[in-house]
Amino acid sequence: QYVLTQSAAQSVQPGQTVSIDCSASSTVTQYSGSRYYLAWYHQTPGEAPKLLIYLTSDRFTGVSTRFSGSGRGNGVDFTLTISKVQAEDTGVYYCHSRHSGPLHTGGGQDRGKLERGELSINHQTDMTIMMQQFYILPGQTVSIDCSASSTVTQYSGSQYYLAWYHQTSGEAPKLLIYLTSDRFTGVSTRFSGSGRGNGVDFTLTISKVQAEDTGDYYCQSHHSGPVFTQ
């Protein structure tokens, strides 16, 4: 299991500068020079994680210049720095590695993991998350749809770079499905992913629903390069 470890929770005053560290258990895949497939996300309560930094130091469209990413050049140690901290910066920060493949991969390859670091104090997305709320009884089956505004990059055959995550209150999002239909290690067979084969429409199906399935579900596309869209 490929693991990312972040620094502990921090509390700072407005106007100060704060750094959040992230260390990998093994070298993160290199993109070019000092840039590695390491991204940073920010999440506030009730919202999906928003991409801040990708490829170690590249700022995502619309992100304030107060946010900057860096690495020590060893592919293991990375830092997110937030200058002139504002109240709106409060929330949970995640470092994420696309290690040895697109987003999270299986088939014997190392797997990335989202890790959290707390701080107290839209880009034109490729994905349209169908905001749906379901109230169902245990034992029933539910399907959650996700549609892309343009074709998601194809991996092979009916598999596209489309993943599904589940998040419960106070926890980091957990990967359920990757490459449209591949179940992540340890995920119950009650969860299945599918697509219509057009690279646009995707579905997550949960059978025999249990109380523990309560929470938020996100679809995510690794689209035409290293940028992660939400």
Question: Which has more pLDDT, 156 or 4?
Answer: 156
- Identity of residue 51: L
DSSP designation for 69:
E
Same fold, 4-120 and 127-229: yes
Candidate from 1-15, 17-31, 100-114, 150-164 with smallest mean pLDDT: 100-114
Candidate from 103-107, 129-133, 193-197 with smallest mean pLDDT: 103-107
Instruction: Check: CB of residue 195 under 8 Å from CB of residue 203.
Output: yes
Q: How far apart are CA 55 and CA 34, in angstroms?
A: 9
Quote the tokens at residue 134. Answer: 């379901």
Rg, C-alpha atoms of the chain = 17
Q: How far apart are CA 106 and CA 201, in angstroms?
A: 22
Q: What is the pLDDT of residue 71?
A: 93
Judged against a pLDDT cut of 80, whether residue 218 lies above it is answered with yes
- For 106-124, what is the mean pLDDT? 33
- Identity of residue 125: T
DSSP reduced 3-state for 213: helix
Judged against a pLDDT cut of 80, whether residue 69 lies above it is answered with yes
Residues 150-197 pLDDT 10s: 788 888 899 998 888 888 877 778 889 988 999 988 999 999 999 999
How distant, in Å, are the alpha carbons of 12, 15, 102, 117 from that of 84? Answer: 10, 4, 33, 18
Quote the tokens at residue 96. Answer: 């994420």
The structure's pTM equals 0.51
The domain covering 4-120 belongs, at the CATH homologous superfamily level, to Immunoglobulins (2.60.40.10)
Q: Bridge partners of 37?
A: none
Domain residue spans of the chain: 4-120, 127-229
- Across the chain, mean pLDDT equals 75
CATH topology of domain 127-229: Immunoglobulin-like (2.60.40)
